Amino acid sequence: MIQIKNAKELEGMRRACAISAAALRYGGEHIEAGMTTLELDKLIYDYIVKHGAKPNFKGLYGFPGTACISINDTVIHGIPSRDVVIRPGDIISIDTGAKIDGFNGDNACTFACGKLDLEAQRLLDVTKESLYLGIAAAKAGSRVGDIGHAVQTYCEQHGFSVVREFVGHGVGKELHEDPEVPNYGTAGRGPRLVAGMTIAIEPMICQNDCKVKTLSDGWTVKTRDGGLAAHFEHTVAILAGRTEILTKGWDDPNIAL
């Protein structure tokens, strides 16, 4: 069932999302060549706890980390590990969130370690832009399919492909709520967006083919063909006449951490 948030609940969402965004940006700013993904995860954990919130990924469905940290051909759900070392030229997707006062934030960004080759940079640029196009399509009165249509059209125009097996979702008192928000679809189809809905829009975009595989650890999702993948995510609130990006802090240097 889709949960509609009242004004007070939206305030709770703003707070949880602000901490989530700050934690994501903090993680991104601390990426360094030679660091392990477990070290990066610990920094994000400490940041969230220090700000009075709870890392809401940790323990959810048994996930061991504070953040999913996914490098290069890992699309999502990379488990922080002392065996995974970040190298120059890597693309590093961090997906993390915080819970406070009963509400959840969820956001993701693919960061670069040093200078990327042109194709990797283009994948990041296109995926990020597709997130904002998806958000622009997410208006009260529109439908969920409008979001996926906007993301898919833009990414495919640029020669990239959209993961089908994993999708965005409602966010609120639970990290994952209804509705599902696919990054592909048909405009004008799917549940109608109404004021008070809070949803995570999160394009997962592949350089080549969109087929993915889950490794035997039960979590790590990689592209089948070994191509790169990128992941950007905001939690947004559908309001009457406008849509508010609740996690905007990770992408706005003017917002103080």
Residues forming the site for Mg ion (CB under 5 A)? 106, 200
Q: Give the closest residue to 96 by CA, choosing from 207, 200, 3.
A: 200
Nearer to Mg ion, 9 or 202 (CB): 202
Nearer to Mg ion, 106 or 251 (CB): 106
37-50 vs 7-29: helix crossing angle, rounded to 10: 140
The string over 34-57, giving b where at least 16 C-beta atoms fall within 10 Å of a residue's C-beta and e elsewhere, is: ebbbbebbebbbebbeeeebbbbb
Structure tokens at 105: 């934030």
Shortest distance (Å) from residue 167 CB to Mg ion: 9
Nearer to Mg ion, 90 or 233 (CB): 233
The count of other CB atoms within 10 Å of the CB of residue 252 is: 11
Task: Report how far residue 99's alpha carbon sits from residue 52's, in angstroms, rounded to the nearest whole number.
Answer: 9
Nearer to Mg ion, 174 or 244 (CB): 174
Shortest distance (Å) from residue 147 CB to Mg ion: 14
Shortest distance (Å) from residue 106 CB to Mg ion: 4
Shortest distance (Å) from residue 135 CB to Mg ion: 14
Nearer to Mg ion, 116 or 138 (CB): 138
Shortest distance (Å) from residue 143 CB to Mg ion: 20
Alpha-carbon torsion, ordered 161, 202, 128, 131, to 10 deg: 100
Largest CA distance in the chain: 48
Shortest distance (Å) from residue 107 CB to Mg ion: 8
Task: Report how far residue 160's alpha carbon sits from residue 111's, in angstroms, rounded to the nearest whole number.
Answer: 18
Nearer to Mg ion, 24 or 92 (CB): 24
What sections of the chain are H helices per DSSP? 7-29, 37-50, 118-137, 144-157
Shortest distance (Å) from residue 9 CB to Mg ion: 19
Spell out the residues 6+ positions from residue 103 whose beta carbon is closer than 8 angstroms to its own: 9, 12, 13, 15, 16, 172, 173
Nearer to Mg ion, 21 or 200 (CB): 200
